[in-house]
Amino acid sequence: NEIRPASAAADTATSRPNNLEAYWMPFTDNRYFKQHPRMVARGEGMSYFTPEGREVIDGTAGLWCCNAGHGRREITEAIQRQAAVLDYAPNFQLGHPIAFEAAARIAEITPEGLDRVFFTNSGSESGDTALKIALAYHRARGEAQRTRLVGRERGYHGVGFGGMSVGGIGGNRKQFGALLPYTDHLPSTHLPGQHAFTRGQPEHGAHLADVLENLVALHGADTIAAVMVEPVAGSTGVLVPPVGYLQRLRELCTKHGILLIFDEVITGFGRLGTNFGAERLGVIPDIMTMAKGLTNAAVPMGAVAASNDVYDTVVNSAPNGIELFHGYTYSGHPLAAAAALATLDLHRAEDLPGRARAIEPAWQEAAHSLRDAPNVTDIRDFGLIAAVELAARPGKPGERGQNVFRRCFDNGVLVRVTGDIIALSPPLIIEKAHVDRIFGTLTEAIRAEAG
């Protein structure tokens, strides 16, 4: 049963592509990139390797997703074994065992009561699925008028029309016109003047949740279907919820019969030192989205966990036949389900949340050691996430961030930038030496950029 890489796959670890033009790259400055391509071709543990073999420490777990590190044989072998047994079977009106097994294993680690798992292929699909389930739930209860969806400024729920509309990032929306009607946004939880250099959760700001009462007063509670937020907003620059904020939001949603949806696409699977952010923050939503760390990103998979009440209400409201007119060809894909099971095994065997918790103090200390570096205006952290915010170069927002990103990569560390915010979210297997290397390289890059 020896598993050997296919020769074509082995070649991709050392070769560079001849044609860069055909691929229209996502969220990328295609013209710049194709003149200055930056590639990784192999991954192992905490590191990527360029086609020439240069090591780049992964400070971002890919895109917040390779929580168990790269090249985990346990996962790739599970995928290969499954491919040899059943490559694909539809999940519309037909089952295959491994998808049920994966759903049951996910339900074991979701917060209590969120035991019903719907499979998707990405965080974006999970976001749109969660919103559609919320709408179907209210309709099933005879409250079809509850169609308003509330998100939050600087929230990111992927790029589907639902997630994009409920998300609060102007830059992601402005090319696409009006988007979904009947969406509203709570203010961001970040108070720049007051939260700078906070370690962990800011003490002040729970009152920002009360803006939901204004929306209720304006539109009527009986028009609002759901509030969707990330427990910690990641991709817009690591915005950590103030103490008590999510509790307040939970109370208000319960009071007004509004479903609370947590987007746990990056906070799930150990990133905050617990299985899900809900656990660390002590608030249980009605619906939760996930993706990324679910399969360690080895193959695409997302999921939505719904409460038993949500599931029962939707399923029992249908007189007969299909209860939810929603699903994807690849929902519960056997290879993804195999990857999820192997990932969940690693998650448990290596106690990845525990590892994240153990190294969090050193991570926090290292992040905040950049406080006196030039142009640093804020540092935020929570769990194994951190952000270092830089003052924008006058008249050139984002340029400083890009330069720091490129300099770090050239010096062997992958960081992520959003404008002038550097975000970090390493694999949870990170050790102290990697922490020092990541923040050391980042400090040098920030200094060089100022000099």
Q: Summarize as ranges the residues that interact with ligand PLP (CB under 6 A).
A: 63, 122-124, 127, 156-158, 230, 234-235, 263, 265-266, 291
Toward ligand PLP, which CB reaches closer, 240 or 265? 265
Minimum Å distance from CB 193 to ligand PLP?
25
Query: For residues 137 and 262, which CB has a smaller minimum distance to ligand PLP in the complex?
Result: 262
Which of 148, 135, 134, 151 has its CA nearest to residue 219?
Answer: 148
Q: How far is the CB of 398 from ligand PLP (least distance, A)?
A: 18
DSSP code of residue 207: G
Tokens of residue 395, six digits: 């008249």
Question: Least CB distance from residue 237 to ligand PLP, whole Å?
Answer: 12
**CB of residue 340 to ligand PLP, shortest distance in Å:** 14
Torsions phi, psi for 327 (to 5 deg): 160, 165
- Point out the residue whose Cβ comes nearest to ligand PLP: 123
Q: What letter would DSSP give residue 363?
A: H
Shortest reach from residue 365's CB to ligand PLP, in Å: 26
Q: Are strands 259-263 and 55-58 parallel, antiparallel or unpaired?
A: unpaired
Give how far the C-alpha of residue 354 lies from the chain's centroid of Cα atoms, to the nearest Å: 19
Q: Which is nearer to ligand PLP, 127 or 242 (CB)?
A: 127
Rounded least distance, CB 235 to ligand PLP, Å: 5
Q: Least distance to ligand PLP from the beta carbon of 187, Å?
A: 18
Contact assessment for residue 248 and residue 209, using Cβ atoms and an 8 Å cutoff: yes
Rounded to a whole number of angstroms, the minimum distance from the CB of residue 121 to ligand PLP is 8
In this complex, which beta carbon is closest to ligand PLP, that of residue 123 or of residue 401? 123
Nearer to ligand PLP, 425 or 441 (CB): 425
- Taking residue 274's Cβ as centre, other Cβ atoms within 10 Å add up to 22
Nearer of residues 57 and 166 to ligand PLP, judged by Cβ: 166
Rank residues 221 and 336 by Cβ distance to ligand PLP and give the closer one.
336
* Phi and psi, residue 145, nearest 5°: -75, -10
Cβ distance to ligand PLP smaller for residue 229 or 442: 229
**Alpha-carbon gap, residue 396 to 393, rounded angstroms:** 5
- Residue closer to ligand PLP by CB (options 188, 443) is 188
CB 99 to ligand PLP: min, Å: 19
Angstrom distance (rounded) from CA 414 to CA 333: 31
Residue at 249: amino acid letter: L
Alpha helices by DSSP H, listed for 297-333, are 308-317
In terms of CB distance, is 122 or 307 closer to ligand PLP?
Answer: 122
Q: Cα(446)–Cα(451) distance, rounded to whole angstroms?
A: 9
Whose CA is closest to 65, among 385, 418, 434, 431? Answer: 385
Contact residues for 239 (Cβ-Cβ < 8 A; gap 6+) = 154, 188, 189, 190, 232, 233, 380
Q: Using a CB cutoff of 8 Å and minimum separation of 24, what contacts does 88-92 make?
A: 88/333, 88/334, 88/335, 89/334, 90/329, 91/119, 91/327, 91/331, 91/332, 92/327
Indicate the residue among 96 and 152 with the shorter CB distance to ligand PLP: 152
Give rounded-to-5 percent helix, strand, coil for the chain. Answer: 40, 15, 45
CB 41 within 8 A of CB 70: no
The Cα–Cα gap between 120 and 116 comes to: 13
- Distance in Å, CB of 300 to ligand PLP, minimum: 7
Q: Are residues 290 and 303 in contact, defined by beta-carbon separation less than 8 angstroms? A: yes
Q: How far is the CB of 28 from ligand PLP (least distance, A)?
A: 14
